[in-house]
Structure 1
Amino acid sequence: MKKLALVALTALMAVSCASKKDLESALEKQKRTQELLDTATVELNACLSDKKVSYAQLEAMRSQVADLRANNEGLISNTGDLTMLSKKGADNLEKSLESLREKDLQIRTLNDAITRKDSVTLALVQSFKGVLGNLNDEDISINVEKGVVYVSISDKLLFASGSATINSAAKSVLGKVAKVVNDKPEIEIMVEGHTDNQSINTPLFKDNWALSSARAASVTRLLQTDFNVDPARMTAAGRSYYIPVASNDTAAGRAKNRRTRIIVLPKLDQFFDIVEKGMEEAKAKAKAGE
């Protein structure tokens, strides 16, 4: 009986030990399964979130594709208009280039004309200095102002005080001036009479206007009659005392102001003809693309 009870107790204990191990094993398995389930749940949620993002991106791309298609259709429909605009732009560009070429050629033409005029002016100065260079600088001077040649002759070399009659000795000086003028048919001259500010009132000359004008006329008349200078190329002008070159407060200054000035001018109509002709040539060359 005791043996039987012992065997039963031993079997019970074995069963009890076996049940505890199975339980622990089952619990451990359940724990791992729960961890796997939790991990799978997290991954599923992440996939669902990525799916939403992907759908949003897909819709955005579809919208972009639609916009691109619309723009492409617009560009295709405007190709004809763009072609016309491009041709118009090319025509305008060509016209602008032609205008620039014309302006450039005109500027060069003007520069050439001015250079030619300056060369003529320099040649005139050299010519006058060549024929008059042996005279006293106080009696005669040659200078250039703004491209114009001026020959100033002291009145003491030409006239007696208060007179408009040219001294016989002065005729040789005017003859040298006439030689240069006759050798240069492309020029004209203006003869100006200048006085000081001392009043004059004689039977012949009421004032300095009359004296200065009479002296200028005497010089032009002598150049015409004695030296065959074409009168159409000369102008006589009286300037009285209103354009002094020195102070009238001193005798020396008044002596400088009493003078006859010969202004040598290029024939302006010829000069402008040259310029106009050059402008027309420049326009023609610009159109030809030269």
Structure 2
Amino acid sequence: MKIKYLIVAVLLIAGVSSCKVLSNKAYNALVAERDSLSTRTTSLEAQVAQLQADTARIHRAIADLKGQYNALNDNYAQANKKLDKTNSRVSELSSDLQKREARLKEVEDILKRRDEATNALKAKLQQALLGFQQSGLTVDIRNGKVYVSLADKLLFPSGSINIDDKGKAALKQLALVLNKEPDINIAVEGHTDTKKVINLGQIKDNWDLSVLRATSVTRYLTETENVDPKRLTATGKGQFQPIDPGTTPDALAKNRRIEIVLTPKLDELYNLITK
């Protein structure tokens, strides 16, 4: 509206300043021009209002977009932080996994060498004790250990803890192999059947009999055959670890035995596990 009034004022001033009396025609022309200018002014004012409204709307849209951008930026930064933490954790786990795989490989290699050594020891013992295998001697592997099982009749007279000559001959051949294998630990186990011990003097029961027979074998190996006593352990198992749970004479005979358990030293493996 200000533009309209300005135009009218200009026209009036121009008319007055000319100091002329306008004709009807000239006057009508001026009025027509004024109306035209008024119409244009109204249109321009409408356009200005529309542009102002559009500008305000665009400003709001820009503000909204900036807000969304900032929110996305914050989310992106947080996601980056999480990604960095995840990558760091993945890197740690990968490094730990590589170390564990390396240790596992070392353990597997040691166990493989142990199994190879155990099989080689079994073969040597079987060869050295071949002549006694018909008399109740067996050599086998259980749980990574070599078991030399000697029937009681091969080592002792009935009800005795004193080793006879045949038993000494078998132990002598065994000691020849053991003295060449210093990295083998030796456990001597005495086993009996379920029959109760009767009238054996100082021997009160099957526990006593199994222990004393085990110590007799241990003493012979160390004192006569010079096996290092630090390598040996003597134990009595009584009747509680039978080979055959039956009660036939054959089953009872199998259970009366001395078992010499040979275990490769696993210091290397122990040190690796306890790191």
Aligned length: 219
Match of 2:215 among 214, 217, 223: 217
Question: What letter is aligned with 2:95?
Answer: E
- In the alignment, what sits opposite 2:255? 257
Q: Output the aligned Cα RMSD.
A: 2.6
Distance 1:219 1:77, change over 3 A: closer
Question: What letter is aligned with 2:248?
Answer: T
Structure 2, unaligned stretches of length 5 or more? 1-53
- In the alignment, what sits opposite 2:196? 199
Supply the distance in 2 between the matched residues of 1:273 and 1:103 (Cα, whole angstroms).
Answer: 15
Question: What letter is aligned with 1:143?
Answer: D
Deviations 1:169-214 (A, max 9, x none): 2212101111222111111111111111221132131111111111
Match of 2:175 among 178, 202, 206: 178
The question of whether the paired residues in 1 share the 8 Å contact of 2:144 and 2:263 is answered with no
The question of whether the paired residues in 2 share the 8 Å contact of 1:109 and 1:275 is answered with no
The question of whether the paired residues in 1 share the 8 Å contact of 2:214 and 2:235 is answered with yes
- In the alignment, what sits opposite 2:158? 161
Distance 1:67 1:119, change over 3 A: farther
Deviations 1:118-162 (A, max 9, x none): 112111111111211232345101111111111100111110000
- In the alignment, what sits opposite 1:189? 186
- In the alignment, what sits opposite 1:236? 234
Distance 1:146 1:70, change over 3 A: same
1:95 aligns with 2:106: no
Deviation at 1:266, TM superposition (A): 2.4
Question: What letter is aligned with 2:172?
Answer: G
Distance 1:66 1:137, change over 3 A: farther
Deviations 1:63-101 (A, max 9, x none): 876644322233446666555544433322221211121
Question: What letter is aligned with 2:209?
Answer: L
Q: TM-score, normalised by structure 1?
A: 0.68
Distance 1:72 1:258, change over 3 A: same
Structure 1, unaligned stretches of length 5 or more? 1-57, 281-290
Q: Which has the higher contact order (CA 8 A, sep 6+)?
A: 1
The question of whether the paired residues in 2 share the 8 Å contact of 1:154 and 1:260 is answered with yes
